[in-house]
C-alpha cells in the first residue's frame, strides 16, 4: 500500500468558528447559555418579583399597590403565623424521623439480600415511588376515614366501640407524609449501605465486636451520607408541603404551604403570600446549607 499524502485544506475563513474553536471558555458559555437564559426568565426574574412583591401592599380589591412597606413581614411575626411556621418545621422533622425509623431497617434488609434478588426488592420500592402521590394519599383517605376501612375493621372485631377520628387530624397528616416520603429516604440509604464493604464488618468482628456493636460503630456511621441525602430529600420538601395537609388535615391543620397557597388563590393577598414564601425560602436555604456542609451534596446518591 503506497503512502499517499492527503492535502491540507486551509483553515476556515469564518473567524467566529475559529474563535469558538480556540476558546474553551466560549464553547462552554455557548453550551450553557440556553439554560441560563431560560432560567433567567423562569427562575431569577420570578423570584425577584416575589421579593419585590413581599414589600408591597394589598389593595382593597385584591390588587397590588406599589407602595413599599414592611407590614407583611411584621405581620408574619404574629404568634398565629409563627405557630404555623413552627408547626411546619415540627411536621417536617417528625416526617424525617419517621422515614428514618421505618426506612432504615428496610434499606438495610435490601442491602443484605443477594444481588440477584435485590433488583426485585428495589423494583417493588420504585413502583409506588413513581405512582402519582395524590393517588397514594387517596388510598390512605379511604382507609382512615370515619367510615373507612380501618374503622370498619376495628369496629367489626370489636376492638373499639366508636369510630376513631383519624382523618382530618395532625396524625393523619403525619401518616400521609411519612408514607409519601418513605421511598425518598429508603433509596439513598440503600445506596449508602450497599457501598459498605463486608470486609469492614468482618474486621470489626475479628477485633471482638458483637453484631450490634459492629452495627453501631461501623455500619451506622458509614451509612450517614445516605441518611443525610435522604434527609435533604425529605425534610426540605416536607417543609413546603401543602397537598397532604389539604387532603388529610382538614381545616385545623395548616402548614406554611397551605398558608402561601391560600394567600395567593383564596385571600388574594399576594404581597403577604410573597412574604411568607420568602420566609420559607430563607429557611430552606439555611437548612440546605446546613445539610450540605455536613456531607457534600451527595448527588451520586440521588441518581
Partner 1 sequence: MSEKKPAIWLRIYALLAYAYIYFPILILIIFSFNTQKINVRWEGFTLQWYKVLFNDQNVILATRNTLIIAFTSTIISTVIGTLAALALQRYRFPGYGAAESLLYVPVIIPEVVMGISLLAFFASIGLTLGLGTITLSHIAFNIPFVTLVVRARLHGFDKSIEEAAMDLGANELTTFWRVTLPTIMPGVLSGALLAFTLSLDDYVITYFTAGPGSTTLPLRIFSMVRFAVTPEVNALSTLWVLTVFIVLLIGQIAQRSQSPQQTR
Partner 2 sequence: MSQFAVELRDVVKRFPNPGGGEIIAVNHATLQINHGEFFSLLGPSGCGKTTSLRMVAGFEWPTSGEIFIDGKPMGRTPPFLRPVNTVFQSYALFQHMTIFQNVAFGLEMEGVSREETRRRVEAALEMVQLTGMGSRKPRQLSGGQQQRVALARALVKRPAVLLLDEPLGALDLKLRKEMQLELKALQEQVGITFIYVTHDQEEALTMSDRIAVMNKGNVLQIGAPVEIYERPNCRFVADFIGETNFLFGKVKAIDPDFVTVSLHGSERELVGIPLGKFYSGQEVVVSVRPEKMRIFDDTPLKIGVTPNQPNCFPIRIINTMYIGSDTRIVIDFGGGTQLKVWEQNHLSTLDALAYYAPGQELWVTMRPENVLILPQEE
Q: Is 207 in the site for partner 2 (CB under 8 A)?
A: no
Q: Is 2 in the site for partner 2 (CB under 8 A)?
A: yes
Q: Is 16 in the site for partner 2 (CB under 8 A)?
A: no
Radius of gyration, CA atoms only, the chain: 27
Q: Is 236 in the site for partner 1 (CB under 8 A)?
A: yes
Q: Is 9 in the site for partner 2 (CB under 8 A)?
A: yes
Contact of residue 229 among partner 2, partner 1, none (CB under 5-8 Å per partner type): none
> Which of the ranges 67-75, 77-85, 164-172, 193-201 carries the binding residues for partner 1, by CB under 8 A?
193-201
Contacts of 53 (CB under 8 A, 6+ apart): 64, 270, 271, 274
CA distances, 135 to each of 23, 49, 123, 131, 171 (Å): 51, 34, 19, 7, 19
Q: Is 280 in the site for partner 1 (CB under 8 A)?
A: yes
Nearest to 58 by CA among 205, 272, 281: 272
Q: CB-wise, 69 or 119, nearer to partner 1?
A: 119
Q: Report the 10 Å Cβ neighbour count for 48.
A: 10
Beta bridge partners of 58: 64
Minimum CB distance to partner 1, residue 16 (Å) = 13
Minimum CB distance to partner 2, residue 19 (Å) = 11
Minimum CB distance to partner 2, residue 15 (Å) = 12
Contact of residue 1 among partner 2, partner 1, none (CB under 5-8 Å per partner type): partner 2
Minimum CB distance to partner 1, residue 161 (Å) = 19
What interhelical angle do 79-112 and 115-130 show, nearest 10?
A: 150
What are the φ and ψ backbone dihedral angles of 39, each rounded to 5 degrees?
-70, -25
Q: Is 22 in the site for partner 2 (CB under 8 A)?
A: yes
Size (the chain), residues: 303
Q: Which residues bind partner 2 (CB under 8 A)?
A: 1-9, 11, 18, 21-22
Amino acid at each position: 500500500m503506497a503512502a499517499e499524502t492527503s492535502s491540507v485544506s486551509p483553515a476556515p475563513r469564518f473567524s467566529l468558528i475559529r474563535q469558538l474553536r480556540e476558546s474553551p471558555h466560549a464553547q462552554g458559555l455557548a453550551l450553557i447559555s440556553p439554560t441560563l437564559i431560560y432560567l433567567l426568565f423562569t427562575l431569577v426574574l420570578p423570584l425577584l418579583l416575589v421579593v419585590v412583591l413581599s414589600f408591597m401592599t394589598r389593595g382593597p380589591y385584591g390588587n397590588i399597590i406599589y407602595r413599599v412597606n414592611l407590614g407583611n413581614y411584621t405581620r408574619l411575626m404574629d404568634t398565629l403565623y409563627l405557630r404555623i411556621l413552627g408547626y411546619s418545621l415540627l411536621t417536617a422533622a417528625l416526617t424525617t424521623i419517621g422515614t428514618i425509623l421505618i426506612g432504615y431497617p428496610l434499606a438495610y434488609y435490601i442491602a443484605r439480600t443477594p444481588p440477584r434478588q435485590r433488583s426485585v426488592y428495589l423494583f417493588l420500592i420504585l413502583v409506588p415511588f413513581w405512582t402519582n402521590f395524590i393517588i397514594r394519599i387517596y388510598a390512605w383517605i379511604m382507609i382512615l376515614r370515619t367510615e373507612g376501612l380501618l374503622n370498619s375493621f376495628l369496629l367489626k372485631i370489636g376492638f373499639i366501640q366508636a369510630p376513631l377520628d383519624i382523618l382530618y387530624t395532625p396524625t393523619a397528616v403525619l401518616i400521609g407524609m411519612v408514607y409519601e416520603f418513605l421511598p425518598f429516604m429508603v433509596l439513598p440509604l440503600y445506596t449508602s449501605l450497599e457501598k459498605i464493604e463486608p470486609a469492614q464488618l468482618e474486621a470489626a468482628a475479628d477485633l471482638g465486636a458483637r453484631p450490634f456493636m459492629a452495627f453501631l460503630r461501623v455500619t451506622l456511621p458509614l451509612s450517614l451520607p445516605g441518611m443525610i441525602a435522604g434527609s435533604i430529600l425529605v425534610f426540605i420538601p416536607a417543609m413546603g408541603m401543602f397537598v397532604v395537609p389539604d387532603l388529610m388535615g382538614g381545616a385545623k391543620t395548616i402548614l406554611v404551604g397551605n398558608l402561601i397557597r391560600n394567600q395567593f388563590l383564596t385571600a388574594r393577598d399576594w404581597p403577604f403570600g410573597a412574604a411568607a414564601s420568602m420566609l420559607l425560602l430563607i429557611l430552606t436555604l439555611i437548612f440546605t446549607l446546613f445539610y450540605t456542609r455536613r456531607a457534600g451534596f451527595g448527588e451520586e446518591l440521588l441518581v
